[in-house]
Amino acid sequence: MGTIRVWIAVLACIISSSSVSASPHQDTKAAELSPEEFQKAKQTFETACSTCHGLDGGGAMGPNIQAIPFRLGVDQVTNVIQNGMPGGMPAFSSQLSAQQIQQIVDYLLTLTRKDEGKVTGDAAAGKQVYDASGCANCHTISGEGGDTGPELTTVGQSRGPNYLRNTILYPGTDLPQTRVFLESGGQLQFLFVRVQTKDGRTVEGTRVAEDSFHIVLEDAQGKFHSFRKEQLRELEKEPGKSTMPSMKGKLSDTQLNDLVAYLASLKGTP
């Protein structure tokens, strides 16, 4: 996760310097796509980019990239997709065609920066809600906690209050809904999987490792299960599903606001 934090920091610096030194690029215009072109561009983005940047480009393991071509320019965004960035983002030139890269840029040109919401709760009280709700059983903050869910040390850098609130109440809604074709480098490290063995046992959890003959899952209690695929009757991968339980109805409005405030305050150490 250290490389992800470096990548977020690098991109944040580029965005910051760009926004200070120049107004939105005058030669950048919203893409004019037919409905068919839009759907193809959206599908390419979701397949290649949404695991790190969210279905709406609002950020996940990687930073918010909504409206980024208007801030950095089309050429620079294209270059980043093709060649990657030091410290985290891979180069996609060998995995995506020139047409697919153009589709991603075109789709980004249809996105506008969304209202990320406001923090209304108390972060200190939210820390108590976080601890009392058992969030640390699955999530790590500054090296402490579990690892069945994403690390949250810098979640406040990449996610706004609206996203955090929605994820707490409706987990999995911003995860990719279809299988992505880039499975290397941890792209699908939190993929939800359900297996049924030939003797009738069913296990659900997130995929930890997989090769042609074996698969290892970690269930919601943090227990690991290793299977030989020849032992399985069914192996079902479910993008878009999360092992994280919904907190809807379990927290009061005040507790929810405080928890959001705490998570929004997590921006790593200087």
CATH of the domain at 209: 2.30.30.100
Does residue 157 sit in the same domain as residue 250?
yes
- Say how many domains are in the chain: 3
Does residue 157 sit in the same domain as residue 208?
no
Does residue 15 sit in the same domain as residue 74?
yes
pLDDT of residue 182: 39
Is 38 a domain residue?
yes
Does residue 260 sit in the same domain as residue 231?
no
Does residue 138 sit in the same domain as residue 256?
yes
Is 183 a domain residue?
no
Is 116 a domain residue?
no
Q: What is the pLDDT along the chain (270 residues), one digit of tens a residue?
A: 444 444 444 444 444 433 333 344 445 555 577 888 888 998 898 888 887 787 778 776 677 787 788 878 889 999 999 998 876 688 898 889 999 999 999 988 887 666 667 899 999 999 999 999 999 988 899 989 987 777 889 888 767 888 788 889 887 665 544 444 334 333 445 677 889 999 999 998 877 777 889 888 878 777 889 999 999 999 887 665 666 788 989 999 999 999 999 999 998 764
pLDDT of residue 15: 41
Is 136 a domain residue?
yes
Tell how far CA 163 is from the center of its chain: 11
Q: State the residue range of the domain holding 209.
A: 192-237
pLDDT of residue 151: 84
Does residue 99 sit in the same domain as residue 137?
no
Does residue 127 sit in the same domain as residue 143?
yes
Residues shown for the chain:
270
Neighbours of 178 (CB within 10 A): 11
Does residue 94 sit in the same domain as residue 169?
no
Is 269 a domain residue?
no
pLDDT of residue 78: 92
Does residue 129 sit in the same domain as residue 52?
no
Does residue 93 sit in the same domain as residue 10?
yes
- Which CATH number goes with the domain that contains 257? 1.10.760.10
3-state secondary structure string, the chain? CHHHHHHHHHHHHHHHHHHHHCCCCCCCCCCCCCHHHHHHHHHHHHHHCHHHHCCCCCCCCCCCCCCHHHHHCHHHHHHHHHHCCCCCCCCCCCCCCHHHHHHHHHHHCCCCCCCCCCCCCCHHHHHHHHHHCCHHHCCEECCEECCCCCCCCCHHHHCCHHHHHHHHHCCCCCCCCCCCCCCCCCCCCCCEEEEEECCCCEEEEEEEEECCCEEEEECCCCCEEEEEHHHEEEEEECCCCCCCCCCCCCCCHHHHHHHHHHHHCCCCCC
Q: What is the amino acid identity at position 121?
A: G
pTM, entire model: 0.51
